[in-house]
Amino acid sequence: MTEITAPKSPISAEQFADEIREQLKYTQGVTEQQATDADVYVAAASAVRRHLMDAWMQTQQDMINGDTKAVGYLSAEFLMGKQLSNALLNVGLTEQFEEAVKNLGHDPQNVIDAEYEPGLGNGGLGRLAACFIDSLASLGVPAFGYGIQYKYGIFKQEFDEEGKQVETPDYWLENEEPWGHIDYGRSQRVNFGGEVVEENGKRVWKPSWAVRAVPVDYMVPGYKSGRVNTLRLWTSKSYDEFDLLTFNKSEYLDAVRPQVVAENISKILYPEDSTPQGKALRLEQQYFFVSASIHDAIRVFYPGQDKPDLTTFPQKINFQLNDTHPVIGIPELMRVLIDEYGYDWDTAWSITSKTFNYTCHTLLPEALEVWSADLIGALLPRHLEIIKKINDQFVKELAAQGVDKKQIERMRIYTDGKDASVRMAYLATYGGSHVNGVAELHSQLLKDVTLKDFSDAYPDKFTNVTNGVTPRRFVRMANPRMSDLITEGLGTDAWMSDLEKLQGLVPLADDAEFVKKFAEVKQANKRAFVDFAKRKYGFEINADTMFNTMVKRLHEYKRQSLKILAVISTYADIKSGKLDVDSIVPRTVFFGAKSAPGYAMAKETIQLINNVSRVVNNDPATKGKLSVYFPWNYNIELAENLIPATDLDEQISQAGKEASGTGNMKFALNGALTVGTLDGANVEIRERVGAENFFLFGMTVDEVDALYAADYDHGGSRRYYEEDPRLKQAIDMVADGTFSEGDKKTYENLVNDWLTHDYFMTLADFGAYMDIQDEIESTYRDPMKWARMAVLNVANSGYFSSDRSIEDYLERIWHTGPLA
Ligand code: 26W
């Protein structure tokens, strides 16, 4: 097998070892002999940063001096994963690192493991932002990621004895963090509160408090592009570090209060996905990072200018709004242009509406943020005035277009009355140039349902950009064995920056030798995962079983409950003797999922899965042929280890609910087959890999709608329970205490919901889901057939590279490209 040819950097392993020694001695003050794995990690990271420094500076200069428009990716979340391996790969030092670290007497894997994974995101939306900035840098496009450096990322998940989720704080900055560079000189003032007064015929905001936004800069190295972009994450600090007057009165706690309040803003990532909470602190966070970023961009692109010509701003940078979270940026840029730089309304509007674009990442109406006008008024009174004025202009514009009154009422950005509120998705749609969904089906549903009125009034604004994932992290780094085989098969590693090249593997699906090697790689990955899971979780997993995985946030619409009910049904059949355990395909089912801390139904599902795992894994009746594992604290590291080892991936959301999914892409690219519904990007994956290489089941969007129309969610589900004995048996087993040591109350809410409501139609899809399992089993019994299908999944999934997504954004939305 040919070795992967990492891009060679001009230095040798020996030189790299010397650089690590130098860091250890002169920066960290430890001798080579004393150095722990963690010390070597910090030293290696610092050395890598130094290697990137020239390219980073050059990229910034070229961006400021050239005339290539930049992209500002505004996102409340960046779920980056560990940085060291990725940086080594992109800068071409992977091999030197391994040799150098061995020479220093350390195991490279232990050094890599010493990095603490930052969890500055909830799930798909945050990870997409991380993939996108990797692709932007790899394509050489000048770009900033702008976000928040939360002190506490997504909570760490543990399970208690009863199998319940327990959340503990994730203080990721506990140890030295070598990647972020804090740059006090680029701080920005961010104001809040107060009132707006009339002065010389002008509206003037008199804020009542302010915080200092301090940027922490992360380098974003492109793969083989020689370009290094910037991820600028803001952290909040107080201006009044110490209120001396109060302190002199010896009221110590009061004296530090302003500091505590200010630092609260970037203290914690909200762990809710899907359902926003209208909390003041959340709005403060949003305004905090967006205001700082806008001012930062003006300073970057008009350095040292007191009176910059900001009519050119949209030619300098376009801001992408990653969901509604940064949408307050629209009134903020209006305010900056009018109040701070003296532009008239129309000029300001022309600049603003050309600067922003909006990506929607959801289909759940409850996930579209709506802020109470009172809250915005109290925190940002001038912005509320501007929003009202935008709304007035909008309403007039619609009336002039002949839109009827009723429709205009439905579309209002600002709704009057007692519960006056601001709809951020509508503000974003009106205030920006383009709106996009994240998969074909999702973009279509946005136009047809969620934002239909807007699509009727502004059809040209709407477009689609199907999501993608970075092949560097999720193929090359996560799956080196398969990557080597691909490189061998294609005779080049150019696929890593042009993933459509994987198409070249299609003929190899008929090469028995190649398919056999492919199956061996999968088996080796499974054994490697068994070792990893033993070390990390103490699990004893049998690698000679089908690895069947469902990893994603825990949400009812994603339907982890469908999967666990299917497992329970099989278990029940084994117990009752209906199913001969020796006749089934041995299977290991993996779950990974965090639930929002306040989401009761999701938490009950977690508890159920854990207890099914406990009961099934310990029952001699299953003879180890059916097992369930739920490694806690699902994160990027676990994804990188589990995805390459997976045979069968679950993408079983109710049709019309998952905007895209990106896990589905990672699995297909790593040679797992998918069992899935026609939802999100599953539709496009199936089109590309071929219907015959995808296990499709379940209702379509239209069938789901028809069932709602027939009042399914008001008692309709019960019929399925009564008519399908497999389903009845499984639900009864949950209800009768089998998975709660006899207690019938534990899963009461779940069971009641299934039988009376079941909004996401788990029961209605259960039969089809059980039926497809037969096809899955018989396919798996033919290992070469399965492996051939897996090869075709890999070969035809090159489209799902985030490089392609970014190319689409460049062409359809940003209209810019690489630096000259
Ligand atoms: C707290 C409010 C809130 C609301 C929605 C927080 C976060 C969200 C996100 C939109 C949730 C999210 O992560 N959406 C996912 O975005 C991915 C990237 O586009 C898609 O692949 C997923 O289908 C979508 O659920």
Number of domains in the chain: 3
Strand 181-182 with 202-206, pairing:
unpaired
The answer as to whether 701 is a domain residue is yes
Residues 167 and 45 in one domain: no
Q: Ligand 1: distance of its center to the CA of 273 in Å? A: 6
The answer as to whether 485 is a domain residue is no
Residues 24 and 157 in one domain: no
Q: pLDDT of 773-820, one tens digit each? A: 999 999 999 999 999 999 999 999 999 999 999 999 999 999 999 998
Token representation of residue 624? 């180890």
Q: Ligand 1: distance of its center to the CA of 321 in Å? A: 13
pLDDT at position 244, please? 58
Find the CATH number of the domain harbouring 644: 3.40.50.2000
- Give backbone dihedrals phi and psi of 322, rounded to 5 degrees, phi first: -80, 95
Residue 669 binned pLDDT confidence (cut-offs 50, 70, 90) = very high
Nearest CA, atom 18, ligand 1: 125
Ligand 1 atom nearest residue 438's Cα: 19
The answer as to whether 710 is a domain residue is yes
Residues 598 and 746 in one domain: yes
Helices (H), 413-469: 424-431, 440-445, 452-457
Residues 209 and 131 in one domain: yes
Maximum pairwise Cα distance, the chain = 87
Interhelix angle 94-103/84-91, rounded to 10 degrees, is: 120
* Rounded Cα–Cα distance for residues 492 and 486 (Å): 8
* Rounded Cα–Cα distance for residues 138 and 68 (Å): 16
- Residue positions counted in the chain: 820
Residues 296 and 268 in one domain: yes
Closest to 356 measured CA to CA, from 296, 454, 299, 432? 432
Q: pLDDT of 41-79, one tens digit each? A: 999 999 999 999 999 999 999 999 999 999 999 999 999
Q: Specify the DSSP element, H or E, that contains 565.
A: helix 560-576
Which residue reads 């007039």 in tokens?
396
The answer as to whether 719 is a domain residue is yes
Residue 261 binned pLDDT confidence (cut-offs 50, 70, 90) = confident
- What string of H, E and C letters represents the secondary structure of 208-273? CEEEEEEEEEEEEECCCCCCEEEEEEEEEECCCCCCHHHHHCCCHHHHHHHHHHHHHCCCECCCCC
Q: What is the mean pLDDT of residues 131-138?
A: 98
Residue 1 binned pLDDT confidence (cut-offs 50, 70, 90) = very low
pLDDT at position 2, please? 35
Q: In degrees, to the nearest 5, what angle opens at C-alpha 688 toward C-alphas 687 and 690?
A: 70
pLDDT at position 250, please? 67
pTM: 0.97
Residue 262 binned pLDDT confidence (cut-offs 50, 70, 90) = confident
pLDDT at position 10, please? 80
Is pLDDT at 252 greater than 90 in this prediction?
A: no
Residue 693 binned pLDDT confidence (cut-offs 50, 70, 90) = very high
* 133 ligand 1 Cβ < 6 A: no
What integer best gives the mean pLDDT of the chain?
Answer: 96
Is pLDDT at 531 greater than 90 in this prediction?
A: yes
Residue 6 binned pLDDT confidence (cut-offs 50, 70, 90) = very low
Residues 3 and 104 in one domain: yes
The answer as to whether 298 is a domain residue is yes
Residue 366 binned pLDDT confidence (cut-offs 50, 70, 90) = confident
DSSP 3-state of 80 = coil
Q: What is the mean pLDDT of residues 649-676?
A: 98
Is pLDDT at 245 greater than 70 in this prediction?
A: no
Q: pLDDT of 153-196, one tens digit each? A: 999 999 999 999 999 999 999 888 999 999 999 999 999 999 99
* 653 ligand 1 Cβ < 6 A: no
pLDDT at position 673, please? 98
Q: What is the mean pLDDT of residues 676-687?
A: 98
The answer as to whether 477 is a domain residue is no
Q: What is the mean pLDDT of residues 591-613?
A: 98
CB 692 within 8 A of CB 674: no
Q: pLDDT of 81-115, one tens digit each? A: 999 999 999 999 999 999 999 999 999 999 999 99
Enzyme catalytic residues:
361, 552-553, 558, 662, 666
Q: Cα separations (Å) of 2 from 6, 60, 118, 477, 507?
A: 12, 37, 34, 17, 20
CB 649 within 8 A of CB 549: yes
> Half-sphere exposure (CA, 13 Å, Cβ side) for 802?
25
Q: pLDDT of 727-756, one tens digit each? A: 999 999 999 999 999 999 999 999 999 999
User: Residues 6 or more apart from 618 whose CB is under 8 A from it?
Assistant: none
Q: What is the mean pLDDT of residues 608-626?
A: 97
Residues 760 and 656 in one domain: yes
* Rounded Cα–Cα distance for residues 498 and 223 (Å): 11
Within 562-682, strands assigned E span 587-592, 626-629, 648-651, 673-676
Bridge partners of 218? Answer: 231
DSSP 3-state of 561 = helix
* 367 ligand 1 Cβ < 6 A: yes
Q: What is the mean pLDDT of residues 12-23?
A: 97
pLDDT at position 256, please? 65
Q: Ligand 1: distance of its center to the CA of 214 in Å? A: 27
Burial environment of residue 383 by CB neighbours within 10 A (0 to 12, 13 to 18, 19 or more) = buried
Residues 717 and 660 in one domain: yes
DSSP 3-state of 148 = strand
Q: pLDDT of 212-238, one tens digit each? A: 999 999 999 999 999 999 999 999 999
CB 182 within 8 A of CB 214: yes
Residues 429 and 448 in one domain: yes
Nearest CA, atom 1, ligand 1: 276
Helices (H), 623-747: 636-642, 663-669, 682-689, 701-709, 718-723, 725-735
pLDDT at position 394, please? 98
The answer as to whether 220 is a domain residue is yes
Q: Ligand 1: distance of its center to the CA of 87 in Å? A: 27
pLDDT at position 364, please? 87
Residues 450 and 577 in one domain: no
Q: pLDDT of 109-130, one tens digit each? A: 999 999 999 999 999 999 999 9
Residues 86 and 233 in one domain: no
Ligand 1 atom nearest residue 467's Cα: 19
Q: What is the chain's Cα-based Rg?
A: 27
Q: Ligand 1: distance of its center to the CA of 371 in Å? A: 18
Nearest CA, atom 4, ligand 1: 274
* Rounded Cα–Cα distance for residues 423 and 411 (Å): 9
CB 224 within 8 A of CB 55: no
Ligand 1 atom nearest residue 282's Cα: 1
Query: Chain-centre distance of CA 331, in angstroms?
Result: 26
Residues 281 and 364 in one domain: yes
* 276 ligand 1 Cβ < 6 A: yes
Which residue reads 């209906």 in tokens?
578
**Residue 672 lies in domain:** 546-794
The answer as to whether 143 is a domain residue is yes
* 377 ligand 1 Cβ < 6 A: no
pLDDT at position 177, please? 93
pLDDT at position 247, please? 57
